[in-house]
Structure 1
Amino acid sequence: MKSDEREEIFAYLEKMLVTLKFGSITLIVQDGKIVQLEKNEKVRLHSNKNR
């Protein structure tokens, strides 16, 4: 992996991590290379605790 590709991936990961409160980040790998990043975020609604 080239250093500019690595820097791009790390930059995207950092942006995702900074904004993520609850959830997960998934790296999709094909042929040994990261080809996709997915962020799944959970939103917890405090108003549902009373139900």
Structure 2
Amino acid sequence: MWHNGGTGNFNSYLGFDPESKTAVVILSNLPPRYIIPVTVLGIKLINEARD
């Protein structure tokens, strides 16, 4: 489960994988349209924690 959001030049991601009991929180002062959005990075980190 996860949630993301952004406004102005701020972007955030919160993800939790109950199976691996891993949480990822990313707070950024980069715009949501940055090269690698925090949502992409957050999902990648959650998936790596499963492996």
TM-score (normalizing by structure 2) = 0.30
| More helix, by proportion | 1
User: Taking CA–CA contacts closer than 8 Å with sequence separation of 6 or more, which of the two structures ends up with the larger relative contact order?
Assistant: 2
> Which of the two has higher C-alpha Rg?
1
Structure whose residues are more often strand by fraction: 2
